[in-house]
């Protein structure tokens, strides 16, 4: 199944050199800072590393549970309005008291991530529809064109300064007659088209009507989507309430 990489900003703290350090103590000056900001920062870095390790351990378990529930629900849905993308997760021991326990909200997004077209075609060959019919990749995906413009052709190195300089005359000429100027300056056509394979607009509705849970999970490996986890802590009641 698809795995989401959780991106977190990592901060490292270089230890102050000591006599036992590989660095000589004389290379970097050590100065005192008022308060306890240094020790608190160092402790926070340690805590952050521990937290990252715990999140990395728990995330696959939560992602699998959330994704399986969303897909099972959607496969059983009788209309597009019944489809869901999010579910709240709680520890099994706390499931009876959902309002006062920690929750993690799982969200499966219909945002399509980059895919390998050959892997997509191969994935559809491995699954069948609920009716037992072969799945054809081009029934569910299509090629989409993307345009790109190479603006580097408007930059040229100045023989005197050796620095690249924007060529205004060349730019103006290209804007007036792109093809003619390409031949004149002996540069490639800056406008290019590339194609990528993307799910059709109705794919994320049809997939649950046409395929069972196992097939959908298999297709997710080749046609990945963005998924997210968000911790929701219980709101503590104020004293006296």
pLDDT at 233 over 90: no
What digits encode the pLDDT tens for the residues 131-173? 999 999 999 999 998 877 788 888 888 888 888 888 888 878 7
| Residue 131 pLDDT | 96
Of the listed ranges 12-16, 59-63, 216-220, the least confidently predicted one is 12-16
Using CA atoms, how far apart are residues 90 and 105, in angstroms rounded to an integer?
Answer: 9
Nearest to 220 by CA among 112, 104, 80: 112
Three-class HEC string of the chain: CCCCCCCCCCCCCCCCCCCCCCCCCCCCCCCCCCCCHHHHHHHHHHHHHHHHHHHHHHHHHHHHHHHHHHHHHHHHCCCHHHCCCEEEECCHHHCCCCCCCCEEEEEEEEEECCCCHHHHHHHHHCCECCCCCECCHHHHEEEEEEEEECHHHHEEECCCCCCEEECHHHHHHHHHCHHHHHHHHCCCCCEEEEEEEEECCCHHHHHHHHCCHHHHHHHHHHCCEEEEEEEECCCCCCCCC
pLDDT of residue 5: 35
Query: What are the structure tokens assigned to 28, written together?
Result: 């970097």
CB 227 within 8 A of CB 107: yes
In whole angstroms, what is the distance from residue 19 CA to residue 120 CA? 58
Residue range 72-126, pLDDT digits in tens: 999 999 999 999 999 999 998 766 666 678 999 999 999 999 999 999 999 999 9
Claim: this prediction has a pTM higher than 0.95 = no
CA dist 178 and 87 (Å) reads 53
Instruction: Express each pLDDT in 174-223 by its tens digit.
Output: 777 778 878 888 888 777 768 899 999 999 999 999 999 999 999 999 99
* 21 pLDDT more than 60: no
Tokens of 217: 């999970």
């Amino acid at each position: 199944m698809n795995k989401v990489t959780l991106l977190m900003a990592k901060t490292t703290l270089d230890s102050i050199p000591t006599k036992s350090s590989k660095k000589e103590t004389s290379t970097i000056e050590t100065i005192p800072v008022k308060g306890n900001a240094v020790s608190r920062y160092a402790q926070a870095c340690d805590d952050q590393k521990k937290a990252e390790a715990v999140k990395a351990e728990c995330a696959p378990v939560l992602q699998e549970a959330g994704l399986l529930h969303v897909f099972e629900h959607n496969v059983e849905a009788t209309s597009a309005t019944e489809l869901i993308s999010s579910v709240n997760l709680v520890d099994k021991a706390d499931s009876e008291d959902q309002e006062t326990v920690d929750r993690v909200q799982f969200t499966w997004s219909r945002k399509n991530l980059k895919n390998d077209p050959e892997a997509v075609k191969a994935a559809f060959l491995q699954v069948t529809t609920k009716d037992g019919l072969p799945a054809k990749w081009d029934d569910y995906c299509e090629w989409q064109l993307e345009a790109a413009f190479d603006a580097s052709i408007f930059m040229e190195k100045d023989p005197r300064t050796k620095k690249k300089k924007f060529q205004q005359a060349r730019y103006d000429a290209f804007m007036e007659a792109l093809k003619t100027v390409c031949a004149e300056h002996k540069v490639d056509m800056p406008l290019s088209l590339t194609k990528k394979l993307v799910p059709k607009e109705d794919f994320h509705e049809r997939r649950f009507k046409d395929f069972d849970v196992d097939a959908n999970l298999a297709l997710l490996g080749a046609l990945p989507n963005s998924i997210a986890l968000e911790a929701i802590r219980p709101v503590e009641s104020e004293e006296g309430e």
